[in-house]
């Protein structure tokens, strides 16, 4: 009972304090799991419990593979495979995201280099890696990234770092400087989950981004029949604005062929989603590339 009271008190505090919360066994269980996961994170990295799945990014005009996004997973000894939503926020809170993010970058860049070596004639294969807000603030972001690229021999232009729109809201020049430096080296910066934050369109021109990733919430509307014409207008408007700012547009969460055709007609450049492939083992991208070449 004391433990439950304690957890509930912390829940009230983290909800802003100066309020009451009711004890709830399910919330207790969640808090205990969260605590357990948080303390297990550092050893999980040492023990090699993380792995990466890759999801292809596809050119909408001809369906060819443009690159892949690296998505981290945790193979937990008790809980099985955990998605990033379960542990990235915990890694953010504890700062473990910095070494974890560095590992993901290293591993994904090495993988991209391997694909390139195997497909010398298959055109450039690009790799997208997610960056969380804490990584953005880390003083070694640029140096670490340069180091990883140099060691692997991957050219900077084959790397795209994805930063969420919300991480850049209100960003001042100091925060943007490392991203600007990376962009000047040729690394692409993508604005991830665009449309879930404030989507301040005027802000876009200030950011060193070259790719806009439209959030799944836009494409979800296109699975309905008939498609809401206002949804179409909004996507069309964003795409045309992005293109006039020389940004490429990627759409996330494409689940059906009808969506893919619609988004292609609206002028989107690349797409990602279950319609093409779910995130999977690196050799799956390999076989997609082979299928492409035929």
Per CB under 5 A, residues contacting Mg ion are 130, 162, 192-193, 252
Please choose, from the candidates 76, 11, 69, the residue with its C-alpha nearest in 3D space to the C-alpha of residue 41: 76
Segment interacting with ligand C2E (CB under 6 A) among 180-188, 257-265, 268-276, 285-293:
268-276
Name the residue nearer to Mg ion (CB basis): 115 or 252: 252
Calpha distance 166→273 (Å, rounded): 22
Segment interacting with ligand C2E (CB under 6 A) among 4-12, 147-155, 240-248, 272-280:
272-280
Partner that binds at residue 104, options ligand C2E, Mg ion, none, CB closer than 5 to 8 Å by kind: ligand C2E
Cβ proximity of 162 and 120 under 8 Å: no
Please choose, from the candidates 144, 233, 132, the residue with its C-alpha nearest in 3D space to the C-alpha of residue 192: 132
Minimum CB separation of residue 24 from ligand C2E in Å reads 26
**Please, what's the b/e burial string for 100-138 (b: 16 or more CB within 10 A of its CB; e: otherwise)?**
bbbebbbbbbebbbebbeebeeeeebbbbbbbbbbbbeb
Determine, following the binding rule CB under 6 A, whether residue 279 of this chain makes contact with ligand C2E.
yes
Stretch 213-242 residues interacting with ligand C2E (CB under 6 A): 216
Determine, following the binding rule CB under 6 A, whether residue 84 of this chain makes contact with ligand C2E.
yes
Calpha distance 161→278 (Å, rounded): 20
Query: Hey, what are 57's tokens?
Result: 């990014």
Minimum CB separation of residue 94 from ligand C2E in Å reads 13
Other beta carbons less than 10 A from residue 271's beta carbon: 26
Calpha distance 196→217 (Å, rounded): 8
Segment interacting with ligand C2E (CB under 6 A) among 1-9, 77-85, 113-121, 201-209:
77-85
Partner that binds at residue 253, options Mg ion, ligand C2E, none, CB closer than 5 to 8 Å by kind: ligand C2E
Cβ proximity of 128 and 67 under 8 Å: yes
Partner that binds at residue 282, options ligand C2E, Mg ion, none, CB closer than 5 to 8 Å by kind: none
Number of residues that bind ligand C2E (CB under 6 A): 24
CA–CA distance from 41 to each of 35, 103, 111, 215 (Å)? 10, 13, 24, 29
Segment interacting with ligand C2E (CB under 6 A) among 10-18, 112-120, 130-138, 233-241:
130-138
Which residue in the set 26, 85, 121, 173 belongs to the binding site for ligand C2E (CB under 6 A)?
Answer: 85
Q: What is the contact surface with ligand C2E in residues (CB under 6 A)?
A: 55, 71-72, 83-85, 88, 101, 104, 130-132, 162, 192-193, 216, 252-255, 272-274, 279
């Amino acid at each position: 009972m004391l433990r439950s009271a304690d957890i509930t008190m912390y829940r009230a505090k983290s909800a802003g304090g100066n309020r009451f919360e009711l004890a709830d066994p399910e919330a207790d269980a969640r808090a205990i799991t969260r605590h357990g996961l948080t303390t297990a994170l550092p050893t999980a990295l040492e023990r090699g419990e993380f792995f990466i799945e890759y999801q292809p990014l596809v050119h909408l005009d001809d369906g060819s593979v443009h690159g892949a996004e690296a998505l981290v997973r945790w193979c937990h000894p008790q809980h099985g495979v955990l998605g990033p939503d379960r542990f990235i926020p915990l890694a953010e809170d504890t700062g473990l995201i910095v070494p974890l993010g560095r590992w993901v970058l290293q591993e994904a860049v090495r993988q991209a280099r391997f694909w390139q070596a195997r497909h010398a004639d298959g055109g450039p294969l690009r790799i997208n890696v997610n960056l969380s807000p804490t990584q953005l603030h880390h003083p070694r972001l640029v140096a670490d990234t340069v180091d990883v690229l140099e060691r692997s021999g991957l050219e900077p232009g084959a790397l795209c770092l994805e930063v969420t729109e919300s991480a850049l809201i209100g960003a001042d020049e100091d925060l943007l400087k490392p991203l600007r430096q990376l962009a000047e080296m040729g690394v692409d910066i993508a604005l991830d989950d665009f449309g879930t934050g404030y989507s301040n369109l005027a802000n876009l021109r200030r950011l060193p981004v070259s790719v806009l990733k439209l959030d799944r919430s836009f494409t979800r509307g296109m699975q309905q029949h008939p498609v809401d014409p206002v949804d179409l207008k909004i996507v069309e408007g964003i795409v045309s604005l992005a293109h006039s700012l020389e940004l490429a547009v990627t759409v996330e969460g494409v689940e059906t062929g009808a969506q893919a055709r619609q988004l292609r007609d609206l002028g989107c450049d690349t797409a990602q989603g279950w319609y093409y492939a779910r995130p999977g083992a690196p050799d799956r991208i390999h076989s997609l590339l082979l299928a492409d070449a035929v």
